[in-house]
Amino acid sequence: MGKIMVQMTMALGALALAAQAAGAEGGRNCAPRPVVLDRLGGDYGETRQSIGLSGQGAVIEVFASPETGSWTIIVTRPDGITCLVAAGEAFEAMAGMVPPPGLDA
Continuous H helices in 1-105: 2-13, 15-24, 33-44
Residue 4, SS3?
A: helix
Report the C-alpha gap between 61 and 7 in whole angstroms. 10
Q: Enumerate the β-bridge partners of residue 84.
A: 74
The percent helix, strand, coil of the chain (3-state, each to 5) is 30, 30, 40
Tell me if the pTM is above 0.75: no
**Confidence at residue 28, expressed as pLDDT on a 0 to 100 scale:** 76
Residue by residue, pLDDT tens for the chain (105 residues) are 444 444 444 444 444 444 444 444 455 799 999 999 999 999 999 999 999 999 889 999 999 999 999 999 999 999 999 999 999 999 988 877 777 787 665
**Confidence at residue 12, expressed as pLDDT on a 0 to 100 scale:** 45
Residue 60, SS3?
A: strand
Contacts for 43 with CB less than 8 Å, ≥ 6 apart: none
**Strand duo 59-64 + 71-76: pairing:** antiparallel
